[in-house]
């Protein structure tokens, strides 16, 4: 049973939390730990809104502990470092993504795959491996994390439009690399043009791919081709367009957040093609054997990425000028933002301007 941070931790924090399956957000005062030897404490500047935040707020995966303060696309400025912190200093811009802890000694951790560590700690709504308390994310005024889980922010990467890379960026960069879908000239499909999908298009293009977007929203065609520089756009509900693409792609990244058929995408793969699922609807996919067996096709999955690869991805995006297309919002807009996200009514990521919009009670204001 996790301990309550309210009773365990000495420093007050202030954020926005969902308290039940309605997923409605309201302000919450909670607590964060004192800065340990290897901790970096920072003021939150910007935090992206990932669809996982929405799944969690409404407990769509059945694992949420309330109250939940989401947010794992966090950019901030360091306010304090522990006595043994070696690579960060006060005033530096930093990022924190989906992970804030792992055992640091298992095989996954040794291979820089902290996301697969059995003791991995997600940034929010998760028992913290190091002390058993529940984690709280970036919809809040400040954060504290072990330096291993803090990213150096590249100088030329914008803070607001760069923030979503900490989840949307690594979640799409990592599978393209891991599954060998990063070779120039490859024909790659991206299913779902949302927060993850639009960043995936930019990363795949920067890797030299010929990119096809599959979307349920015909209105996104012009933006995909002209704005995001995708090469082709297919309306995934149009069976003629889907049929015409049969057997053409080397790999497909499926970023869709809701239940949808995946067999039509298997048919679009070449022999030996790979369909990689990163979207996580709360219901199972139907997966018949025939389209896999007959084309020796592979269906895989991918979970964010380790810390080393996340830093590599940030540096890659900074080098190639890749950021998210964002709508910056104040934190008290989060309920409306969630409603709009559910309707795919955002181009393409909401980012909360936390520092300029969060209004902690006066007695909490000067703690960090």
The residue ranges that bind ligand NAP (CB under 6 A) are 50-52, 55, 167, 171, 192-197, 215-217, 220, 255-258, 260, 278-280, 302-304, 341, 344
In the shown chain, the binding pattern of residues 138 to 157 toward Zn ion, with x for contact by CB under 5 A and - for none, equals --------------------
Q: Which residue is nearest to ligand NAP (CB)?
A: 194
Nearer to Zn ion, 4 or 111 (CB): 111
Cβ 44 to Zn ion shortest distance, Å: 16
Sequential DSSP letters for 230-280? -SEEEETT-HHHHHHTTT-EEEEEE---S----HHHHHHEEEEEEEEE---
- Residue 171 CB, shortest distance to ligand NAP, in Å, is 4
Residue 292 has a CB neighbour count (10 Å cut-off) of: 16
CA nearest to 67, candidates 139, 116, 9, 146: 139
Q: Which is nearer to ligand NAP, 167 or 368 (CB)?
A: 167
Task: Give the DSSP letter string of 47-92.
Answer: EE--HHHHHHHTTTTS-PPSSB----SEEEEEEEE-TT--S--TT-
Exactly one of 18, 50, 78, 324 binds Zn ion (CB under 5 A); which one?
A: 50
Per CB under 5 A, the list member of 167, 317, 358, 368 interacting with Zn ion is 167
Binds 103, which of Zn ion, ligand NAP, none (CB < 5 to 8 A, cut-off by type)?
Zn ion
Query: Could you write out the three-class secondary structure of 272-333?
Result: EEEEEECCCCCCCCCCCCHHHHCCCCEEEECCCCCHHHHHHHHHHHHHHCCCCCEEEECHHH
| Partners of residue 12 on adjacent β-strands | 31
Nearer to ligand NAP, 67 or 305 (CB): 305
**Among positions 35, 52, 115, 302, the unique one binding Zn ion when judged by CB under 5 A:** 52
Out of 49, 81, 109, 151, the only residue in the binding site for Zn ion (CB under 5 A) is 109
Selection from ligand NAP, Zn ion, none that 190 binds (CB < 5 to 8 A by kind) is none
End-to-end CA distance of the chain: 29
**Cα angle value 24/26/30 (rounded, 5°):** 125
Helix (H) or strand (E) holding 344: none
* Beta pairing class for 99-101 and 121-122: antiparallel
Residue 341's binding partner, choosing from Zn ion, ligand NAP, none, with beta-carbon cut-off 5 to 8 A by kind? ligand NAP
Residue 258 binding target from Zn ion, ligand NAP, none, CB below 5 to 8 Å by type: ligand NAP
- Name the token pair of 301: 């999955």
Cis-peptide, bond into residue 67, ω within 30° of zero: yes
Q: Tell me how far apart the alpha carbons of residues 256 and 326 are, in angstroms, rounded to a whole number.
A: 19
- At closest approach, how far in Å is the CB of 283 from ligand NAP? 11
Rg, Å, the chain Cα set? 20
CB of 227 to Zn ion, least distance (A): 22
298 binds Zn ion (CB under 5 A): no
Q: Is 2 a binder of Zn ion (CB under 5 A)?
A: no
Specify the residue, 52 or 310, whose C-beta has the smaller distance to Zn ion: 52
Q: Which is nearer to Zn ion, 17 or 109 (CB)?
A: 109
Q: How far is the CB of 288 from ligand NAP (least distance, A)?
A: 19
The pair of three-digit structure tokens given for residue 45, joined into one six-digit string: 């500047």
Binder of Zn ion out of 13, 117, 125, 329 (CB under 5 A): 117
198 vs 328: CA distance, rounded Å: 17
Q: How far is the CB of 164 from ligand NAP (least distance, A)?
A: 8
Determine, following the binding rule CB under 5 A, whether residue 106 of this chain makes contact with Zn ion: yes
Q: Which stretch binds Zn ion (CB under 5 A): 1-9, 106-114, 173-181, 266-274?
A: 106-114
| Residues binding Zn ion (CB under 5 A) | 50, 52, 102-103, 106, 109, 117, 167
């Amino acid at each position: 049973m996790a301990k309550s941070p309210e009773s365990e931790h000495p420093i007050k924090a202030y954020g926005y939390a969902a308290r039940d399956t309605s997923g409605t957000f309201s302000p919450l005062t909670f607590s964060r730990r004192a800065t340990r030897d290897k901790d970096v404490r920072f003021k939150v500047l910007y935090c992206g809104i990932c669809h996982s935040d929405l799944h969690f707020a409404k407990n769509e995966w059945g694992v949420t502990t309330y109250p939940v303060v989401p947010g794992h696309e966090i950019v901030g400025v360091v306010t304090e470092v522990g006595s043994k912190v070696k690579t960060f200093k006060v005033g530096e811009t930093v990022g924190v993504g989906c992970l804030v802890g792992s055992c640091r000694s298992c095989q996954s951790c040794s291979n820089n795959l902290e996301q697969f560590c059995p003791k991995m700690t997600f940034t929010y709504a998760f028992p913290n491996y190091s002390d058993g308390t529940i984690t709280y994310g970036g919809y809040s005024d400040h954060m504290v994390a072990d330096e291993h889980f803090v990213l150096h922010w590249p100088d030329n990467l914008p803070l607001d439009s760069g923030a979503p890379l900490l989840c949307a960026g690594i979640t799409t960069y990592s599978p393209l690399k891991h599954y060998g879908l990063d070779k120039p000239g490859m024909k790659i499909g991206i299913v779902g043009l949302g927060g993850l999908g639009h960043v995936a298009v930019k990363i795949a293009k920067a890797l030299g791919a010929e990119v096809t977007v599959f979307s349920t929203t015909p209105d996104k065609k012009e933006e995909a081709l002209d704005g995001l520089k995708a090469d082709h756009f297919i309306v995934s509900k149009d069976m003629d367009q889907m049929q015409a693409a049969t057997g053409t792609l080397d790999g497909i990244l499926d970023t869709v957040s809701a239940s949808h058929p995946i067999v039509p995408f298997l048919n679009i793969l070449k022999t030996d093609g790979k369909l990689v699922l990163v979207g996580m609807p709360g219901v199972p996919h139907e997966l018949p054997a025939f389209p896999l067996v007959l084309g020796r096709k592979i269906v895989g999955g991918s979970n964010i990425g380790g810390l080393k690869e996340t830093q590599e991805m940030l540096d890659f995006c900074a080098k190639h000028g890749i950021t998210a297309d964002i709508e910056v919002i104040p934190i008290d807009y989060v309920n409306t933002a969630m409603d709009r996200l559910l309707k795919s009514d955002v181009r393409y990521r909401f980012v909360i301007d936390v520092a300029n919009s969060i209004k902690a009670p006066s007695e909490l204001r000067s703690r960090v």
